[in-house]
Chain A
Amino acid sequence: MSIWVSNETRLLVQGITGTEGRFHALGCRDYGTEVVAGVTPGKGGQDVEGIPVFDSVSEARTETGCNATMIFVPPPFAADAVMEAADAGIELIVCITEGIPVNDMLKVRAFMDDSDSRLVGPNCPGVITPGQAKIGIMPGHIHTPGNVGVVSRSGTLTYEAVWQLSNVGLGQSSCVGIGGDPINGTNFIDVLSAFAADDETDGVVMIGEIGGTAEEEAAAWIQAERDAGRFDKPVVGFVAGRTAPPGRRMGHAGAIVAGGKGGAEDKMRTMRECGLHVVESPGEMGATMAKALG
């Protein structure tokens, strides 16, 4: 199985004629993803290495039957691109763009309240199901197919986790980067519930960072599901940023300790109290999962 991305995925790339969009559209295709269309308004009729470009998402949807999209549109226009994809009924929307204003994301969330589409990101590396398909900018070849799910707010720290897992002989079912922005589409709990329901996921690595309360909410959810007998997979957790000074944004727009809230220590404590295997060192994610899975 795996979650959300598979060899059934038919991928659209919004912003495909830009440098990044083109590079990663081809990267996804090289990995094995079926990339069926691109969209850049005003450039319909062109093609990128054989991938047809359309003016609008609905046109691309009608013509190619794409069921997922990867967005590289620049920040001022990215929110519109997400809403256009949702309006066209694209099932999975992965927004890579970094730097979208918070107020634009609030608009996106309101627009998507009645939508069946799932948004992953923004400001994320994307989603990969090793051996099948990837939607995103992650290096595909470090991944190996297997049974550990990964969910993370950070890009390179996810690659680090994947690398460590692969090195201890643990492959991955799917890896989902939910992004480093304060307002995003998919949160930890969404991904954890999908992993809980996935027969091929035996354990989950969850990587959080400072800012907000998403880690605490996810930890409480895990405990509640476990108590209800619905979730018995081990979860290895790490939270980046325990050395971050309060009030400063650590690279990611969402990574900030504000008003004494959102600190790494509090998050790690809550995660530990809720039964997660919390690692103190980010160098121990893979080994700890190996131990947890016995």
Chain B
Amino acid sequence: MKIHEYQAKEILRSHGVPTPRGRVTSDVADVPEICREFGGRCVVKAQIHAGGRGKGGGVKLANSPEEAGRLAGEILGMQLVTHQTGPGGQEVRTVLIEEAVDIDRELYLAITLDRAARKPMIMASLQGGMDIEEVAEKDPDAIVRQHFDPHLGLLPFQARSITDGLRLEGTTARQAQKLISHLAKAYMATDASLAEINPLLITGDGDVIALDAKMNFDDNAMFRHRDIADMRDLHEENPLEVRASEYHLNYIKLDGNIACMVNGAGLAMGTMDIIKLYGGEPANFLDVGGSASQEAVKNAFQILVDDPAVEAVLINIFGGIARTDRIARGVVGAIQELGDVTLPVVVRLEGTNVEQGRQILADADFDFIVATDMDDAAKKVVAAAGGDS
């Protein structure tokens, strides 16, 4: 799960990580007054979940309360396009107004899980403001890495090894060690999957503060963090994905025109891959669940056909515990219930009682294109969507 910068900063502050003073608003009229409160200079920051906001024009420095109001007016409501939003951009609904701070140096600091080591790992670099992926590619030696034990927490000598790697000294080093320890505690306490401070700022006075902050969380742990789960902002998610999540369906919108409905995440990915292999473009990832009940199939189908880009549908179900004939009845029932389905629908059913299942599809009022295996299904759906296969 993702949250906004201002929310991440609230969480980090509550764990003792220093940040600039700031206030969040959706009302331009508030902005000059907030700016005055911070001494007449401030930074106006668009709050959307995507990164790269600065380059996209969503972060601006204001030298007066009036300028702050004007900039906030430009940013609020804009479709902010960054390398992470896609070409349509994301509407800015709130802005964070922060005091302007004096910058000496910008560093990078983050914690994430190292799956291979099965430990959280701190990454830091001298290249603040740059994407860590970019640094890793261009100058891998510039990244300082430090694992820590999730149960013992970050030990003081480990925090010192990071600040040594960042060539920090004196009170600046000590402040940074404290900040890193607080960040590690916040990361563990909130079941975060990513806590990133980019840039981590060294001010002209040698103080260390988190100028930006990003936190992602383990969806599976949100049952024990109601407060964080409540920070979910549905405006930041694709509306079809929001609807699918209400039905407990695993759905991710993609750019293609061939919708797919599959049971199981692995088979769903495999189905997308095989569509692409035969020259088509998948419109989505969708796992209807292992048992593919009629209710789930109906809800899923409705979401698929509500995507205007979709020109053909591929249903690929492996009937295991749930028998294929029962699944076939579910698919037919769902289509009858929906009524006006005009798209070509390719169905590939496999597994137990497959002959009865295919017969049910053949006898149905709807003209299913029946496929015998995955390759056949992919070729047929690509052709039905007018692809180049």
A contact set with B: CB distance below 8 Å: 27, 75-76, 99-104, 106-107, 109-110, 137-139, 141-142, 152-160, 163, 180, 182-183, 207, 209-214, 217, 238, 240-245, 247-255, 258-260, 264, 280-284
Contacts and interface: CB of A to CB of B under 8 A. Distances in A.
Interface in B320-346: 320-321
Contact of A106 (B150, B272, B276): B150
Contact of B282 (A99, A243, A249, A259): A243
B132 interface: yes
A160 B254 contact: no
B321 A27 contact: yes
B187 to A, nearest CB: 10
Nearest to A103: B191
B265 A99 contact: no
Contact of B266 (A27, A252, A283, A284): A252
B218 A180 contact: no
Given A251-B285, A252-B266, A281-B274, A213 B116 contact: yes
Contact of A183 (B118, B219, B223, B274): B118
A225 B282 CA distance: 38
B221 interface: yes
B154 to A, nearest CB: 14
Interface string B247-264: 000101010000000111
Contacts of A110: 150-151
B33 interface: no
A283 B118 contact: no
A177 to B, nearest CB: 9
22 contacts: A76-B224, A101-B191, A103-B221, A139-B352, A142-B351, A156-B262, A156-B290, A157-B270, A158-B266, A182-B113, A212-B115, A244-B269, A244-B285, A250-B285, A251-B268, A251-B287, A253-B220, A255-B265, A259-B132, A281-B273, A281-B274, A283-B378
B240 interface: no
A59 to B, nearest CB: 28
B139 interface: no
A159 B223 CA distance: 31
A252 B265 CA distance: 6
Contact of A102 (B221, B254, B290): B221
B118 A163 contact: no
Given A102-B113, A210-B269, A250 B252 contact: yes
B350 A160 contact: yes
Nearest to B241: A248
B373 interface: yes
Contact of B273 (A100, A109, A245, A282): A282
Contacts of B282: 243
Contacts of A214: 115-116
Given A139-B320, A154-B267, A156-B318, A75 B220 contact: yes
Interface string B345-363: 0000011100000000000
B309 interface: no
Contact of A155 (B113, B220, B285, B290): B290
Contact of A107 (B151, B224, B264): B151
A155 B266 CA distance: 7
Interface string B84-102: 1000000000000000000
Q: Which of B268, B270, B378: most chain A Cβ within 10 A?
A: B270
A109 B119 CA distance: 10
Contacts of B285: 244, 248, 250-251
Given A102-B220, A212-B115, A282-B273, A163 B318 contact: yes
B374 A160 contact: yes
Contact of B264 (A157, A253, A258, A264): A157
Interface string B151-181: 1000000000000000000000000000000
A10 B274 CA distance: 40
